[in-house]
Structure 1
Amino acid sequence: MSGKLTSFLRGLPVSGRIGLALVVFWLVVALVGPWLAPYSVGAFVDQDVFSGISSQFWLGSDYLGRDVLSRVLWGSRYTVFLALGAAMIAVCIGTSFALLAAIRGGWTDEVISRAMDTFISIPSKIFALVLVAAFGSSLSLLLVIAAATYVPGNFRIARALAMNLVALDFVQVARARGEGSVHIALREVLPNMIHPLLADTGLRFVFVVLLLSGLSFLGLGVQPPHADLGSLVRENISGITEGALAIIVPALAIATLTVGANLLIDALKPGGKA
């Protein structure tokens, strides 16, 4: 196991290693951050607002005198895990429909493809705003919105991959042996789609991070007293003229997370090409 990991790391270019380090860093922060936070997420601990770095507040305080470090450590959990969960759900659903469409073909492919084309034509922000306005903002709804928004995009990529594979000889041989659709999908087609799908999952993750951050910036994401990284930027927007760390730090967190994921995705592509 350690040999495979070492070989994998050696095979990554410098940009890929940087991306991997950034992604792993934020995953670790999301996992253990709340236990490392010096204060609770909504505690008012500073009489001053937008204070600078000090021994008591390593990243200063926000617009209400709350510890920025604690808020970022808590907020990263919502951003990372909501985005990761939504991306994985979107890829699983989109790939399942793609395999069904590619293997069955005919009217099944036509109906699913046209439905996905219709759904993908709806702007993601408008779709999210309508659902949040109708049902209110909650973590489960945000997860559903983010996942549903990116199912069609994954379906298109997965269907293109599956269609190419279904036409190959080894799939035709499996059909001639009398193998069922489930066997062909899971044992013949899907294993040959794994690497492109992993790259697409990374892209969906980045898209979901930006979507959730955008919703939170509009006040429609994770609700107070909890917050994700996008919420932290929005609520401290008044400190931008002062260059307050309360707005700079979460913005940098979103940037490093998305840039790191993109660098890692590019490094994982076959041949290292974009």
Structure 2
Amino acid sequence: MNTFKTGLLLAAMTALFMGLGYLIGGAAGAIIAFVIAAAMNLFAYWNSDKMVLSMHGAERVDEASAPQYVRLVRQLAENAGLPMPATYIMHQPQPNAFATGRDPEHAAVAVTTGLLEILSPEELAGVLAHELSHIKNRDTLTMTITATIAGAISMLANFAFFFGGNRDNQGGIIGTIALAILAPLAAALVQMAISRTREYEADAMGAEISNRPLWLASALEKIDRAAHVVDNDTAEANPATAHMFIINPLHGGARDNLFSTHPATANRIAKLRALAAEQGRAEGRPWG
């Protein structure tokens, strides 16, 4: 099912890319856009994880440089039946995290320094279990490729908006400008539709991996509270990657509210608490 969703997502993004190509250069522009989109899809499959990690200044760490973090990832990966992913740290004060990679054998988990500073070991385990769930569900490929192509759509839309595009198309300049504005919004809607469901699924599976739903619930409360007041400069500069984070890292504009790629944190916490109640579990033993 995830393979089908990935294909559908790529088709939708490619169609948007071709539409903008047509507005800029007519039929020839659409063909060129298709070739570029195909090349981007192929490149993104193999390299989008490296691009996203680089965008956010993530540095790879090991057990010698970040022992508690790396040991938690290893233990949780064993619990989930996953290969050990690469571990990265982003030097950002905003507490947040994401996972990336084309499959479980080529996956990575990245957390911010802010996350490591404010969470307890139990809360950190809850967050890492959530990210490993994305890897186990193979969400990471879809999420990273979406970030790459959505960013390209935004850039091409800006080009169409400022340079007017193909004046021979039936919509004329007004149609060009309208699509240049609507295409990035459509791309955001595609991201939103895919990401919201996957966040709920990753919360539930993460609770299963850590065996303590309330650990993640507590972590989400802290991260959400901080994300509203602490900037994440690299995320603001690369908004197409926002859907990859456990909590929306953006808070600079109304667009983030209208086209949020994350479900409401309060709803996620409520579901986790309900799950804990069903299991009859409270906070449980300390991690480690």
TM-score class, shorter-chain normalisation, is: 0.3 to 0.5
Higher relative contact order (CA 8 A, sep 6+): 1
TM-score normalised per structure 2: 0.34
